[in-house]
Amino acid sequence: MIPKQTVNMTDVARHSGVSIASVSRALRGEPGVSPTTRDRIMTAARELSYVVSPEASRLAGGATGRVGVVVPRIDAWFYSTVLAGIADEFDTVGTDLVLCTLPDSAARHRFFEALPLRRKVDAVVVVSLPLSARERTRIDQLGVPSVFVGGHHPGGNRSWIGIDDELAARQAVGHLIHIGHRDIAMIQAADDTDIPWATDQARISGFHRQIREAGLGDPTVVTVKWSIEGGSRGMEMLLSGPRLPTAVFCHSDEIALGALRTLRRAGVSVPQQISIIGVDDHPSADLNDLTTVAQPVRDQGQIAAREVLRHLVGEAAPVSAPNTDALTTLPTRLVIRGSTASPH
């Protein structure tokens, strides 16, 4: 469907020594490119006889009226809630939302190879995908503004919306320490992709830092898959150990919910014999009386949508320094329910 061009924006970017996003901005007459850089880009484009595609001209003249949203999957609470926030905002201004899901590694591979959104959307929002450096570059190669939600990887000149995952972990573990726990384990979840996800790493390092700063010994950590099932498995592993910790920090509420199920089945009472805490404030956390650190999920979608719309009208906040990202960090907060109490 996409006409082949011998020279593309990547060539212009390489020739002029700037990012593809800058080439895109310069060719579309958008702000955010210095006059000197713009001149260099225009010269490179002329020298390479770069032809702006008809679709691209249409973009320059106005817009497709569409923004792409890329999410790993939508049948999971976090993603569907972020998406709902984005959809709300787009609806109010009449922007069409083109949805791309990448439920497995084949779909993901296809997406980053073919970039099916190319020339079809004015901008993209990428929600909580653990992106490799190459994948981040491919998103840039869409040649349109992009905004990222969750799991910040420093890359430079990108807009990220998320929470401070290390702080969230510290709030959770801090609560356990504050009420007297000294023997705190973690059920940590690992994604099945090969790419280390920033969110995962930050929650793990937050846990270890808080434990270390409180002067507590080496904690027990078990690693499972990111799912309720994984949480159940993790708690079974802890129950098989020589001694049960008095409290468990779970990587997320879904992990914690699985852990609670195992404890119920094993006849271990919560919080009398063990305290459990998660991160998220999943709707089931309230239902199962789970103490957690809440993150504002719908808000992340809404703010990302507003940010991408600001990019489209050229009103996005300029990045403060070259090669840094524009980060928007939303606050998390401790929600104390019935699954945590002081140890006996």
Nearer to a copy of itself by Cβ, of 120 and 225: the residue is 120
CB of 326 to a copy of itself, least distance (A): 26
How, if at all, do strands 291-294 and 333-335 pair? antiparallel
Asked if 275 touches a copy of itself (CB under 8 A), the answer is no
Asked if 295 touches a copy of itself (CB under 8 A), the answer is no
Q: Which of 193, 201, 223, 284 binds a copy of itself (CB under 8 A)?
A: 284
Residue 33: closest CA among 43, 15, 51, 21:
21
The H-assigned helical ranges of 179-296 are: 198-213, 228-239, 253-266, 283-287
Asked if 94 touches a copy of itself (CB under 8 A), the answer is yes
3-state secondary structure of 277: strand
Q: Which of 48, 56, 87, 335 binds a copy of itself (CB under 8 A)?
A: 87
Nearer to a copy of itself by Cβ, of 188 and 262: the residue is 262
Residue 72: closest CA among 98, 108, 47:
108
* Distance, CA of 190 to CA of 201 (rounded, Å): 10
Q: Which of 65, 154, 180, 314 binds a copy of itself (CB under 8 A)?
A: 65
* Distance, CA of 167 to CA of 334 (rounded, Å): 11
Residue 277: closest CA among 192, 199, 195, 170:
170
Asked if 268 touches a copy of itself (CB under 8 A), the answer is no
CB of 120 to a copy of itself, least distance (A): 7
Cβ-based neighbours of 267, under 8 Å, separated by 6 or more: none
Asked if 113 touches a copy of itself (CB under 8 A), the answer is no
Nearer to a copy of itself by Cβ, of 42 and 87: the residue is 87
Nearer to a copy of itself by Cβ, of 73 and 333: the residue is 73
Q: Which of 51, 60, 93, 99 binds a copy of itself (CB under 8 A)?
A: 99
Asked if 66 touches a copy of itself (CB under 8 A), the answer is yes
Q: Which of 49, 287, 320, 321 binds a copy of itself (CB under 8 A)?
A: 287
Asked if 83 touches a copy of itself (CB under 8 A), the answer is yes
Phi-psi region of 17 (alpha: psi -120 to 50; beta: other; left: phi over 0): left
Asked if 98 touches a copy of itself (CB under 8 A), the answer is yes
Asked if 298 touches a copy of itself (CB under 8 A), the answer is yes
Tokens of 279: 């991160």
H-helix or E-strand spanning residue 189: strand 184-190
Cβ-based neighbours of 44, under 8 Å, separated by 6 or more: 12, 15, 16, 50
Asked if 225 touches a copy of itself (CB under 8 A), the answer is no
Binding residues vs a copy of itself (CB under 8 A): 1, 65-66, 69, 73-77, 79-81, 83-84, 87-88, 91, 94, 96-101, 103, 107, 110, 116, 120, 228, 257-258, 261, 283-284, 287-288, 298
